Chain A
Amino acid sequence: MSTIAQKKGFGATVWDYLTTVDHKKIAILYLMAGGIFFLAGGLEALFIRIQLAVPNNDFVSAGLYNQILTMHGTTMIFLAAMPLIFAFMNAAVPLQIGARDVAFPFVNALGFWLFFFGGIFLNCSWFLGGAPDAGWTSYASLTLNAKSHGVDFYILGLQISGIGTLIGGINFLVTIVNMRAPGMTYMRMPLFTWSSFVTSALILFAFPALTVGLFLLMFDRMFGGNFFDVSAGGNTIIWEHLFWIFGHPEVYILILPAFGLFSEIFATFSRKRLFGYSSMVFATVLIGFLGFMVWAHHMFTVGMGPIANAIFAVATMAIAVPTGIKIFNWLFTMWGGSIKFTTPMHYAVAFIPSFVAGGVTGIMNAVAAADYQYHDSYFVVAHFHYVIVGGVVLALLAGTHYYWPKMFGTMLSEVLGKITFWLFLIGFHLTFFIQHFLGLMGMPRRVFTYLPNQGWDTGNMVSSIGAFFMGIAVIIMLINVVVTQVKGVKVGNDPWGDGRSLEWSIPSPPPFYNFKQLPLVRGLDPFWIEKMEGKKGMTPAEPLGDIHMPNASFLPVTISFGLFVAAFGILFHVDDKPWALPVMIIGLGITLVSMLIRSVKDDHGFHIHKEDLENEDKGVKA
């Protein structure tokens, strides 16, 4: 087995990606699939804003608007933001802790394909009788009465992609606990790794609540259950509780890796150690914990009573404390640093005021009494778009520019990157800032149109114009990607010149075994320490030896594809279609047979031999 990569044809490359278990290639898959869903969700957002640009508009009908709105939220949260976060976790975390792959490479691939087929299944609804139309929260009182199959697509699609996310999270927990390089103690892990760790723990604890909720809803809708049916003795509020017990940690699952990415970017481009590292770790863990104690603040108007509302209001406000710690630490990291305003740093600096604005409106919403006024108005829409776009999306765009050289070995154009940044930032504030006031003026959320002369006309027009700025920004970023990849100028190990953590000590993109010899970590920011002592790379912690690698496998695709097929059978079984039951059995059969093959076939992987690694070294030097 030679380690030297050969030039491959198109078909071979596709097959390589379909069967890969390499975390770097899975990162690229997550980035591409998440990116495509991000474009779909963005397109839906533009349709929403076109419809709302002028009063009494008939660009889309009311029913179609509900579908677009629901799919915008669902797609952006589950199919765009989550996988894009997993893209960066896959790309960076194993490298940052000095590991050769994640703990379970096969499971990692399986996680991706489950997410992918779940997402495809959800989007098949557009062509099979209409998309889900009960909002991304899918409250049971609405969904139980939904006539189309849309909601069933939501239930089954999210169930499949949810399994993918759950096993992805478990994989990262095991990886970070067990596979850190010699010397990489917990308190020397880069902050992105720390936030990925806490995020994975949140996934582990929060996703089961969603799984349970979706199962109950599935039984209610498809198999005659009565969990949420009030007329049959059920309770529709249980869904709200289950959904938000998952849903609130979910928003921290999204934002914590964003915090991690920005922490890396602030330290790198301020060319300073991250200020208050241990307090950052503490704040990350604390946010993770508090995330489970606040779910009912989404339900202040349900009628839980003043005691519950008061307790959840105070718990919610408490989250501002660790978040404030983080904000100040980032400011102090920049303070006195030798700041370099690269594209990622632009995003990082703009993130602070944008996210603080979202945080402040969050505290406003946390005041239970005042929330009765804000509830279900555009004020809430403005709030969560400020935290998710101003936090998560800015981080994802920053991360794309920051980690692009490490993932693809080329550097995105800084000029086009900054144009993207400014257009996006202006568009973002133009779209969402004015929605605060639309909300305070009484515009309810999720309406498909409104009457003129209520004082909402100008605000909505401004908001729609802003959305197009963001759209153009994303198009320019795509052009940037194409231009960069066509030019194909390769970069070295540390393209930003100021890399601090281990990923910048190895080639871009890294060889498939990552580290020829596992590095010895001597402190926080290990690569920076070595550079400050005048060394070119890391000190190895082990002699050069054979490297054990996992074999590629096509089974993750077939396991996930089987569930995808079975889901169609389950869904149409309700209509008494004669083909539904066989389809369900065939689908589950594909999955179970694939799992059986995986179980009984011995797969010991292969070794890269020491001699090959040595030859490669000589080849480079010659």
Chain B
Amino acid sequence: MENTRQTSANPRIDLKYRRKKNAEEMRYQIISFALMIFLTLIAFGAVYYEGFSHWFVVPFIMLLAAIQVVFQLFYFMHMSHKGHETPALFLFSGLTVALITILTFLTITWI
């Protein structure tokens, strides 16, 4: 049942290619990890610094959060890879449904 559909195109067989690919992957992960820590520091800084008004800080942190979600999905959950179309479809449809629901609460139904 398992592993019955392996084809010769499977990168697992090509060790050299795999090693190179893994190193590349690792580099991206470290870069995005460093970026995410950096973004978190900025977010903390924005809250800490008293010169900014709330009207700037809240949307700004939201924006940083959105960027981090994208990093998370694409570099750590391998969404950019081939064969991840179905999970992507489910993630985005779930996101659409959730966002529409939240939008509804914010605009037309007061809780």
Contacts and interface: CB of A to CB of B under 8 A. Distances in A.
A304 B97 contact: no
Interface in A200-249: 201, 204-205, 235, 237-238, 241, 245
A120 interface: no
A547 interface: yes
Given A177-B86, A542-B4, A205 B97 contact: yes
A395 to B, nearest CB: 26
Interface stretch (B19-27, B32-40, B48-56, B103-111): B103-111
Interface in A292-351: 292-293, 296, 304-305, 307-308, 311
A100 interface: yes
A610 interface: no
Interface string B76-111: 000000000010001001100100110011001111
Given A177-B86, A201-B90, A293-B100, A308 B108 contact: yes
Contacts of B41: none
Interface in A496-536: none
Contacts of B1: 100-101, 547-549
B101 A235 contact: no
A308 B105 CA distance: 10
B2 interface: yes
A77 to B, nearest CB: 22
A292 B108 contact: no
A296 B4 CA distance: 47
Contacts of B105: 241
B38 to A, nearest CB: 32
Contacts of A100: 1
A400 B90 CA distance: 32
A30 to B, nearest CB: 23
A311 B111 contact: no
Contact of B109 (A293, A304, A548): A304
Contacts of A201: 90, 93
Contacts of A289: 93, 97
Main secondary structure of the interface of B (DSSP, over half): helix
A549 B1 CA distance: 8
A369 to B, nearest CB: 17
A241 B97 contact: no
Contacts of A307: 108
A411 to B, nearest CB: 31
Nearest to B101: A245
Nearest to A292: B97
B2 A292 contact: no
B85 to A, nearest CB: 10
Given A201-B90, A548-B1, A238 B111 contact: yes
Given A100-B1, A177-B86, A292 B109 contact: no
Nearest to A173: B90
B90 A311 contact: no
Given A245-B101, A292-B100, A308 B94 contact: no
A308 B108 CA distance: 5
B111 A305 contact: no
Nearest to A545: B4
A540 to B, nearest CB: 13
A241 B109 contact: yes
A224 to B, nearest CB: 22
A223 to B, nearest CB: 22
A549 B93 CA distance: 34
A308 B109 contact: yes
A235 B1 CA distance: 51
A241 B105 CA distance: 10
Contacts of B110: 304-305
Nearest to A303: B110
Contacts of A308: 104, 108-109
Contacts of A101: 1
Nearest to B2: A548
A547 B1 CA distance: 7
Nearest to A542: B4
A204 to B, nearest CB: 8
Nearest to B108: A308
A308 B104 CA distance: 8
A304 B104 CA distance: 11
Contacts of B86: 177
A307 B105 CA distance: 12
Nearest to A186: B86
Contacts of A304: 108-110
17 contacts: A100-B1, A101-B1, A173-B90, A204-B94, A205-B97, A235-B111, A237-B111, A241-B105, A241-B109, A304-B108, A304-B109, A304-B110, A305-B109, A305-B110, A311-B108, A542-B4, A549-B1
What are the 4 closest A-B residue pairs judged by CB atoms, nearest first?
Answer: A308-B108, A308-B109, A304-B109, A292-B97
Given A292-B97, A547-B1, 19 more contacts: A100-B1, A173-B90, A177-B86, A201-B90, A204-B94, A205-B94, A205-B97, A235-B111, A238-B111, A296-B104, A296-B109, A304-B108, A304-B110, A305-B109, A308-B108, A308-B109, A542-B4, A548-B2, A549-B1
